[in-house]
Amino acid sequence: MNKSINAIDTLKLDEFVDHIRGEKYVYQNLIFPWGQNGFYTDTLDVFSTSYSQLPKVYVQDFYFLYILKHGRIVKFSQAKKVDLQGKNLYVSCPGQMKNWKAVENAEGYILVFSKGFLKNLRYNKNMLTEFPFLVFPDKINYSVQSKDFEKCLDVLANIYEAYIRKEAYDYELIQLWVTELLIRIKKYNDKNNREHLGDDSANETSVGPRFVQLLEDHFTQGIKKKLVTNKGVAEFAKDLNVHPNHLNREIKKHYGKSTKTVIIERYLLAAKCLILQTDLTIQEICYTLDFNNPPYFGRFFKKYTGMSPLQFRKKNSKLV
């Protein structure tokens, strides 16, 4: 196994770039003129030589999109192994636990942006509702067909060139191109999967996406503090300043599940991540996730996976 949660970092965007490029680069090159920030892009060629400088296991507090033109990328993301080869486009979201394994002969681009950058994009719909892969990245089809792939690659190339220039209006152009890229991904994904989560009419105050962000922030900060406190529907509703019944209706409407189910699934996912990506004992994981009773945690885990935590670790240990 890799390491204890005591060594797991929760990385913000600038901290991520620190590991990739170094502090001097961050200070001199990350921020645009007039103070615009929250954005970074690079080539996969550069990333392939520097990803090993990242913490072995970390939780990201930003969006990470990369487009692979050639080569191979292998990583452990959340509770599953990801092995991409050939033409692929991948999206990961804040709150995800990462463990990079290999970036071999990779050609393409990476695109990293903060939640603040996403919020400030000039778009007339709620970003998290309009683009469900920014909430549930497993809903995207990553193996992109040639014509759509080349269009996305061209947009990424424009973004990278503007980022390197950092001249007047380049930040605004990048915002427009990132929006175009998200629309192209959505268009391609909807066309192939015929699956769309969410209500296009929802505005930026919609409860569903705000709840999902709040839930992910709860786990991101909890991992950083080494304690993900037990938090239920009533507590999240209070934070959102809505009645629990209203929250339930909105979550059911947007995501087809009850609020309680979404919360349980997130605690279960966190448990799987900690079991697979750390060397914590099951008892330590139990307390990290605020289950004060290890036997109850074991029953909870087995109810939803069909295995005890130790059985799950043993069965999947070779994947990590």
% pLDDT > 90, the chain: 61
Please write the tens of the pLDDT for every residue from 264-301: 999 999 999 999 998 889 999 999 999 989 999 999 99
Please write the tens of the pLDDT for every residue from 194-250: 544 444 444 556 788 889 889 999 998 898 888 899 999 999 999 999 999 999 999
- How confident is the model at residue 198, as a pLDDT? 47
pTM beyond cutoff 0.85: yes
Helices (H) then strands (E): counts for the chain? 14, 7
Start-end of CATH 1.10.10.60 domains in the chain: 207-319
Asked if the model's pLDDT at residue 62 lies above 60, the reply is yes
How far is the CA of 74 from the CAs of 29, 88, 167, 178, in angstroms?
A: 28, 12, 35, 25
In angstroms, the CA 301 to CA 110 distance is 35
Name the CATH superfamily, with its identifier, for domain 207-319. Homeodomain-like (1.10.10.60)
Q: How many CA atoms lie within 13 A of 139 on its CB side?
A: 20
Start-end of CATH 2.60.120 domains in the chain: 5-193
Rounded mean pLDDT, 80-97: 90
Q: How many CA atoms lie within 13 A of 28 on its CB side?
A: 5
Q: Which fold has domain 5-193?
A: Jelly Rolls (2.60.120)
In angstroms, the CA 253 to CA 257 distance is 8
